[in-house]
Amino acid sequence: MYLDFEEFRNTYQDGITPKSHSLEDNELYFGLNPNARILVAYVPQENAAPFEQLKATEYYTRPKFPNTINLKEVEYFVPYFKGKGIRDIYQVHHINTCTKMDFDPDCDDERMRLLFQFKFVKHLFEDYRPHDLKIWHCFTDSTVKELIDGKSLIRFIDLFAGIGGIRLGLEQAANEMGYATQCVLTSEIKPAAIKVLRQNHPDEPICGDITQIDTAQIPDFDVLCAGFPCQAFSCAGKRMGFEDARGTLFFEVARILRDKRPKGFILENVEGLVSHDGDRTLRIILDTLRSLGNKVNHRVLDVSDFGVAQKRKAA
């Protein structure tokens, strides 16, 4: 899921000038807007000198850049140095495309990449602070608040939520890795499940039928969780698959993945999905997900392997 530089150049012929923002008088955030978005990016050692001397005015990426980062929202740039971490913050003035030949006439590399132009603002920290670039390895999309507070935030949506089992696993795993989490949308229609969700998450709104929610109404998020209905694939039912209206709800997941382009997703269903219709159903699902530019892995897991006192498999 990488940015198409040709498409970017055609769409933004004059590049992108990030939205203007007003600085806020906030002692904790050093006068920076705490909600302004930041791009934390790896700087190779051979390019480090201008940044260490606070004279850097531009940064160009490698020929691959994640397409999930909304460049129109990026207001600041923070250089990351391997073995040292982060210290300084720069204000982004313009984003455009370039080739390495634009910087080095002796180079014959004609591959396009992004060019960030910026100016130094201030030190975020007195000295370099360790930072683990976990998102996209070389790039982390964050906010001033998240960066200074020391935790990157994973925003997720929970579709066909049930009583929230999938999100619980995501939240526990993320917290163990040092990430904060925020559920920005929950969708469920069963009254009993909604009652439990409201008890466990009283401050979160719960939406109803996902087929009635336009993609534009869904807030931006990083991870999609969905335990899409299993009755059409389960050995306990008629196994009508996509001929059952409930079986087609997977394509609502595909619609949202296509339109929102999150960093990742977690889908869960019954073990019977793997063998349904001679594995044709699974192949359709995997092909659909991969056609959207995703890398997909699937496994059948047994809860007894994770400390639960029963044998129950899920895909």
Could you tell me the domains of the chain? 5-147 (3.10.590), 153-314 (3.40.50.150)
Helix (H) or strand (E) holding 281: helix 280-291
Please say whether the dihedral angle defined by the alpha carbons of residues 25, 28, 29 and 30, taken in this order, is positive or negative: positive
| pLDDT for the residue 136 | 63
Does residue 198 surpass a pLDDT of 60?
yes
Distance of alpha carbon 127 from alpha carbon 42, whole angstroms: 17
Q: Which of 138, 225, 230, 235 is the catalytic position? A: 230
What does the pLDDT look like over 221-269, one tens digit per residue? 889 998 876 554 444 444 444 444 455 778 888 899 999 998 899 988 7
What does the pLDDT look like over 66-113, one tens digit per residue? 887 889 889 999 999 988 889 999 999 999 998 888 777 787 888 999
Residue 29 makes CB contacts below 8 A (sequence gap 6+) with 144, 145, 148
Residue 130 makes CB contacts below 8 A (sequence gap 6+) with 84, 85
230 has catalytic annotation: yes
| pLDDT for the residue 230 | 57
What does the pLDDT look like over 18-50, one tens digit per residue? 875 544 444 445 668 888 889 999 999 999 999
Distance of alpha carbon 199 from alpha carbon 71, whole angstroms: 38
Torsion angle defined by CA atoms of residues 195, 199, 205 and 208, in that order, rounded to the nearest 10 degrees: -20
Residue 188's nearest CA partner among 214, 169, 207, 204 is 207
